[in-house]
Chain A
Amino acid sequence: GAVVSQHPSWVICKSGTSVKIECRSLDFQATTMFWYRQFPKQSLMLMATSNEGSKATYEQGVEKDKFLINHASLTLSTLTVTSAHPEDSSFYICSARAGGRISTDTQYFGPGTRLTVL
């Protein structure tokens, strides 16, 4: 149990385009999902916390108009990188906080999405 998927796993796009990344909890309901960004050989940096049905809470320094987050259902959150530029190239990882019979403390991570902006 507690499987999280992401789609796509890798995306290459031209500078100026927008890219949407999906995060799904496959076998549990996730009231809260988190989006992280990770540069090569570095740690994960929390970008935002996404609660189902409400606006996301962004970490300091993260542009909310640049990184649009939508958490429309208990199993799906999306991150849209708007007008992507090469400096946005990174590994984007989502996680979901399980609820119900599964421990509500642990976050389960998706496999990540590699974004390359040319």
Chain B
Amino acid sequence: GESVGLHLPTLSVQEGDNSIINCAYSNSASDYFIWYKQESGKGPQFIIDIRSNMDKRQGQRVTVLLNKTVKHLSLQIAATQPGDSAVYFCAERFTGNQFYFGTGTSLTVIP
């Protein structure tokens, strides 16, 4: 597998502020990317996806940016809320239907 994390980076933001979570992916041939949110003790939850032929995609309160030149993906959360506190993973697809996950970032929203 790819991208095994040894520890999670952390990000703390004030409620109402915008959050930016970054991810470096490993394979330049990856054609599809997904951001997942995982709360403690639960499975990952789909947030937003983007294909490699795009550089930006917006959802409700979330925006994903893709920079293929430097193999970088970011997730922007607008007006962060306490319910956004979770671990966020990016996942890349480069071999058929298999996805490989990034290290993950633990987001804590301070009320």
Contact = CB atoms under 8 A, between A and B. Distances in A.
Interface stretch (B67-75, B77-85, B99-107): B99-107
A102 to B, nearest CB: 12
Interface string B51-76: 00000000000000000000000000
B3 A93 contact: no
B101 A106 contact: no
Contacts of B106: 41
Interface string A75-118: 00000000000000001010101000000011111111010000
B46 A43 contact: no
Interface in B1-24: 1, 3-8
Give the bracket for the number of chain B residues in contact with chain A: 20 to 34
Interface of A is mostly: strand
Given A43-B3, A46-B1, A93-B44, A109 B36 contact: yes
A109 B43 contact: yes
Contacts of B104: 42-43
A112 B107 CA distance: 21
A18 B3 CA distance: 29
A28 interface: no
Contact of A43 (B4, B32, B41): B4
A103 B42 CA distance: 23
B34 interface: yes
Nearest to B49: A106
B1 A114 contact: no
A25 interface: no
Contacts of A114: 41
Contacts of B89: 43-44
Given A42-B6, A43-B103, A49 B44 contact: no
Contacts of A41: 7-8, 106
Interface of B: 1, 3-8, 32, 34, 36, 41-46, 49, 89, 91, 93, 96-104, 106
The 8 closest A-B pairs by CB, nearest first: A109-B43, A43-B5, A44-B101, A109-B44, A111-B43, A112-B43, A43-B101, A46-B1
